[in-house]
Amino acid sequence: MLQLTGSPAALGLVLAARILPTVVLLLIGGVIADRLPRRAVMMASDLTRFGSQALAGVLLLTGDANLASMIVLQLVAGTAAAFFQPASSGLLPEVVPAKDLQPANGLIQLSENFAWTLGPALGGLLVALVSPGAALIFDGVTFLISAIALWMLKVDRRAPSVQENPSILRELRGGWTEFRTRTWLWTTVAWAGTFHLLVLPAWQIFGPSIARDQLGGAPAWALITTCSGLGSVLGGVIALRMRPRYLLRASFVPLGMYGLQLLALGLLAPVPVIAAAALVSNIGLSMFNVFSFTAMQQNVPIEAMGRVSSYEWLGSIALLPIGQALIAPIGSQTSPTTMLIVAAGWMAITPVLLFMIRSARNLRAVDDESLAEAAAQQAEEAVEPDVRAQKV
């Protein structure tokens, strides 16, 4: 877009067109994910994004692209993403036994972290060595590969639940009930909202500018972000190997360490110190993501997973654009250092706040023993009616 228009504002419009329909349609996407086969929803979403990204690349290569066409294509891609994410959260329990959800989520987190670390570098190389159009076509092909992988996936085919009143509003209310009645879930989502309102924007906005002005420029920031990615990968490996008895509690203290990189940046520590802090900081965040996804998949009924996941995603990320828009003006009235230290302080007290939530700290992971207990309880409940009938 910068090559096409020379306008950062135009780039902002295209990026906004990608995220806006995702936020607006996420709840509807959750309803659809619980109504239709989730794999089919994800495949349709991938094929749609394959078409939108590949077409955008072709338009750039042929010189036919303009601002309007790029906005429309990104609106299409963002709409498809709104249906993919809720369906993906519910698909995993259909493929993986409950006791294996944690390592499965660990593998997913690990692959995502590798992609977030290597993807920008690969994209930059394609843009520099070939063209932006070629990079977008390659991006589109990755969605096609994803659709093929989903088509090859063996899924436990479950009949959709029969709804007495299949109205979207009623299903949304049912999903909201499932969400709000689990205190450990809505409280951790509320915390995630504060993270995306204050902590992440402080790092995203002030980090590059401080690196540019006071740490030596782009090479310093590249080292810091690379260490962030490595920390995320390491956190995924740890989460893959761990088998904690209390699922969420295991990540509370590591999560609080995310403030180390904010503190080091705010105090203008040497670049190697900030990079080391970034590596340590992102270990806990990656672990928290794995354990929280696993907790939701193990404890939310499969027939409501799409809707509950959409509420979880919306509550977590909806405040991010607001934080990104407000953090710089607030920082100009105080200082970037002040905002970074405030964000670091919030992360420091996060383990205490989360530990105070009884249902969060006592939420047990599903293992072979708990599965056996649940099966025994179901068998007992199945026998009780016969016993009562004999007594009558």
Instruction: Tell me the pLDDT band of 371, cut-offs 50, 70 and 90.
Output: very low
pLDDT of 373 higher than 60: no
Q: Which tens digit of pLDDT belongs to each residue from 150-162?
A: 999 887 655 444 4
- Higher per-residue confidence, 56 vs 175: 56
Q: What residues contact residue 271 under an 8 Å CB cut-off, 6+ apart? A: 215, 216, 220, 223, 224
Which of 189-193, 194-198, 225-229 has the weakest average pLDDT? 225-229
Q: Which tens digit of pLDDT belongs to each residue from 297-316?
A: 888 888 888 888 888 888 88
- Average pLDDT of the residues in 109-129: 80
Vertex 30, ends 24 and 34: CA angle to 5°?
Answer: 160
- Average pLDDT of the residues in 22-30: 85
The predicted pLDDT at position 278 comes to 94
Instruction: Tell me the pLDDT band of 199, cut-offs 50, 70 and 90.
Output: very high
Residue by residue, DSSP assigns 15-79 as HHHHHHHHHHHHHHHHHHHHHS-HHHHHHHHHHHHHHHHHHHHHHHHHT---HHHHHHHHHHHHH
Tell me if 87 sits within 8 A of 42, measured CB to CB.
Answer: yes
User: What is the pLDDT of the chain when averaged over all its residues?
Assistant: 84
Instruction: Tell me the pLDDT band of 369, cut-offs 50, 70 and 90.
Output: low
Going 92 to 96 to 98 to 99, the CA torsion angle's sign is negative
Residue by residue, DSSP assigns 230-278 as HHHHHHHHHHHH---SBTTGGGHHHHHTTHHHHHHHHTT--HHHHHHHH
The predicted pLDDT at position 143 comes to 95
- Higher per-residue confidence, 373 vs 61: 61
The predicted pLDDT at position 2 comes to 72
pLDDT of 44 higher than 50: yes
Cβ count near 311 (within 10 Å): 22
Q: Which tens digit of pLDDT belongs to each residue from 253-301?
A: 999 999 999 999 999 999 999 999 999 999 999 899 889 888 888 888 8
The predicted pLDDT at position 106 comes to 80
Question: How distant, in Å, are the alpha carbons of 84, 151, 196, 311, 355 from that of 146?
Answer: 12, 9, 28, 25, 38
246: which strand partners? 364
- Average pLDDT of the residues in 94-106: 81
Strands (E), the chain: none
The predicted pLDDT at position 166 comes to 63
Instruction: Tell me the pLDDT band of 139, cut-offs 50, 70 and 90.
Output: very high
The predicted pLDDT at position 277 comes to 95
pLDDT of 324 higher than 80: no
pTM over 0.95, yes/no: no
Q: Which tens digit of pLDDT belongs to each residue from 329-358?
A: 888 888 989 999 999 999 999 999 999 999
Give the whole-number percent of the chain exceeding pLDDT 90.
34
